[in-house]
Amino acid sequence: MNTLEILRLVAEILLAVVAAGGFKNWTDTKKYRQEVEKLRAEVESAKTNTRSNELENVKKAMAILMEEVVEPLKKEINAIRKEMARLRRAVEKVSVCPHSADCPVRRELQSSEERDRASPS
């Protein structure tokens, strides 16, 4: 075996080592890219789940708000409307009442009206 053959053998061994290292690097890089893509997909899935959970929480909060606040307020407003209608009917009848000249309710309503006009709020 002469020097040229030895150099060629050494060069081929070095080339094989470098090629094997490069191939390993390429396969590792490919593997890492796949892992990164998998992790990105998991992150997106987690974001989607989080958004879904947030929307579900908002829906639950709205349902609670409607049930615990809005519905009782609606009932209270309707009751106030009925009371106002009764009061309005009663006030409208004051002028035809035989006791209207000396009616304490009429006097109170007129004095409270005058107080409201005198003190603007």
Q: Is the predicted pLDDT of residue 53 greater than 80, yes or no?
A: yes
The more confidently predicted of residues 74 and 1 is 74
- Scanning 66-95, the segments in alpha helix (DSSP H) are 71-93
CB 106 within 8 A of CB 94: yes
For the cut 70, the answer to whether the pLDDT of residue 1 exceeds it is no
Summarised one tens digit per residue, pLDDT across range 57-94 is 999 999 999 999 999 999 999 999 999 999 888 888 87
Predicted TM-score of the model (pTM): 0.47
Q: What is the pLDDT of residue 27?
A: 81
